[in-house]
Amino acid sequence: IYAPLVKEAVAHMECRVCQVVDLGNTALLMAIIMKATVDPRHFRDSQWIFDNGLELLHHVGGNRFTVSKHAVTAKEILNWNE
């Protein structure tokens, strides 16, 4: 796959679509990731690094997006059965 890449992006995934599911007014694309790359200044040890001003854009549905600027660590899950 030789897809065009956005030079400002901190990560790229090149995928091959293997199934398209018709959902009426939209479609769900199932794909296999063929190649993935990430800028090591912003991703190390399986974690995003926000120290260098990284802001990640997330699509949350329709025409809505949100931006994450820092990571949050969840508290330990309590065992409600005890």
20 or 5: which leads in pLDDT: 20
What percent of the chain lies above the pLDDT cut of 70?
A: 96
Average pLDDT of the chain, as a whole number = 88
pLDDT digits (tens, 9 = 90+) for 21-35: 999 999 999 999 999
pLDDT surpassing 70 at residue 68: yes
pLDDT surpassing 70 at residue 1: no
75 or 20: which leads in pLDDT: 20
Largest CA distance in the chain: 54
**Which residues does 1 contact at the CB level (< 8 Å), separation at least 6?**
14, 15, 16, 34, 35
